[in-house]
Amino acid sequence: MKAAILKKTGDVDHLTMKNIPIPEIKENEILVKTKVASINPIEVKTRKGNRFSKELLQDEYPILGWDASGVVEKVGEKITEFKPGDKVFGIIGFPGFGKTYAEYFVAEEKHLTYIPEGVSFEDAAASTIAAITAYQALKDFGKLESNTKVLIHAASGGVGHYGVQFAKHFGAEVWATASGSKEDFVRDLGADHFIDYKTQKFEEEAQNMDVVFDLIGGDYIDHSLKSLKKGGVLISIPSATNEEVEEKAENAGCVGVRFSLKNNKKDMQAIARLLKTGELKPFISESFPLDEIREAHKELEKGHTKGKIVITME
């Protein structure tokens, strides 16, 4: 099978296409023929060198990727839930490795969810790490409900564009930041108030928020605390800086949450239901064939992606 191998950490040239054997499965594993993978900033960070890289590079075939959709090819003897031909998607292997930048991947039952009737492989693959992050952050930590006032940063990106939709689904009033060119897109997702981060100070426009969902980190933690009411919740997700959030929020009389996603099948099934009803609509701005994985990474690391970028296998 074709796979994108990471030879060493660094720039995109270290991602190389190679023909390798289709992986063998154990009795409790499932072999899936990949249809679509979606890419995330964490893969760019792993390619460049982070806490995952060292372990990944020790593998015989270091392959990036966690998000994918596909068709079950073969199941191990102990598998009861899935059979060959089933259409599935999920966050594969996380927080271990999913190796979804390849024509086949191996998954455990707990990491696969059925793709609902009428949902495309592209939309399913896109609604994985980014979608579950927004869902868990806003539901479990933000505890969004009717009339919660929430500010969502980077509302036009992978996580943010799901965040706006979930926030509206939970009944919240949504303030959203992105650059002006993305205003129509973000308002169409459901944002009630739009703030252009290039020309406006969000902490002056959005005040007395119950919750801020910070997808930028760094000094956005400090500025976001100015938007919160006393006792409000700041959820910060970029792992490079979110260690600071608890202490800073406490000093400001708020609650800080350093978020990390839980790979949870129940939440993936909830996402699948919202995809089926059309309440959740992924936006895929670009699609690259696996052979062009370097171009896809280059595009994502510019930091201006609208919605999601996906990788197709055929």
Interface ranges with ligand NAP (CB under 6 A):
40-42, 129-130, 133, 153-154, 156-160, 177-179, 182, 197, 215-216, 237-239, 259-261, 300, 303-306
Closer to ligand NAP at the Cβ: 34 or 242?
242
Residue 155: CB minimum distance to ligand NAP, A: 7
| Closest by Cα among 60, 67, 71, 129 to 100 | 67
**Residues 280, 274: contact at Cβ < 8 Å?**
yes
Residue 85: CB minimum distance to ligand NAP, A: 31
**Residues 32, 88: contact at Cβ < 8 Å?**
yes
Closer to ligand NAP at the Cβ: 31 or 238?
238
Residue 290: CB minimum distance to ligand NAP, A: 20
Closer to ligand NAP at the Cβ: 77 or 219?
219
Closer to ligand NAP at the Cβ: 112 or 137?
137
Report strand pairing: 2-6 vs 15-19.
Answer: antiparallel
d(C-alpha 306, C-alpha 181), whole Å: 11
d(C-alpha 287, C-alpha 96), whole Å: 25
Q: Is the dihedral of CA 245, 247, 253, 259 positive or negative?
A: positive
Residue 191: CB minimum distance to ligand NAP, A: 12
d(C-alpha 216, C-alpha 221), whole Å: 8
Closer to ligand NAP at the Cβ: 73 or 205?
205
d(C-alpha 186, C-alpha 177), whole Å: 9
Closer to ligand NAP at the Cβ: 139 or 304?
304
Residue type, 206: A
**Residues 213, 153: contact at Cβ < 8 Å?**
yes
Closer to ligand NAP at the Cβ: 227 or 305?
305
Minimal CB distance to ligand NAP: which residue? 157
Closer to ligand NAP at the Cβ: 32 or 129?
129
Residue 104: CB minimum distance to ligand NAP, A: 25
Residue 157: CB minimum distance to ligand NAP, A: 2
Residues with Cβ < 8 Å from 108, sequence gap 6 or more?
Answer: 28, 29, 30, 93
**How many CA atoms within 13 Å lie on the side-chain side of 313?**
24
d(C-alpha 207, C-alpha 219), whole Å: 17
Residue 159: CB minimum distance to ligand NAP, A: 4
Residue 209: CB minimum distance to ligand NAP, A: 15
SS3 string, 127-167, reads CCHHHHHHHHHHHHHCCCCCCCEEEECCCCCHHHHHHHHHH
